[in-house]
Amino acid sequence: MGFFERVGRQVEQFKRTAKAEAERSADYRCRTCEERFRTDHEECPECGGGPVVSTADGE
């Protein structure tokens, strides 16, 4: 395996780990697409739908 392939795999694993951790600690989520966010939004920046609700609500 070449150097760039090895580094590419490590970067991809880091990205997946970082995204999983960010989702786990997110305070809000979109009810439509289930995307998670650290801050509240009027509508989902990912899908344009909503509502964006607190994950503490248990919904």
Chain segment 8-43, per-residue pLDDT in tens: 999 999 999 988 887 777 788 888 888 888 888 888
CA 31 to centroid of chain Cα atoms: 14
Residue 53 banded pLDDT, cuts 50, 70, 90: confident
Number of domains in the chain: 1
The pLDDT value recorded for residue 13 is: 95
Q: Which domain holds residue 26?
A: 3-57
What backbone torsions phi and psi does residue 19 show, to the nearest 5 degrees?
-65, -40
With beta carbons less than 8 A apart as the criterion, state whether 36 and 53 touch.
no
Q: What is the pLDDT of residue 7?
A: 94
Please report the pLDDT score of residue 6 as a whole number.
94
Please check the confidence at residue 57 and state whether its pLDDT lies above 70: no
Total residues belonging to the chain: 59
Q: Omega into 51 within 30° of 0, i.e. cis?
A: yes
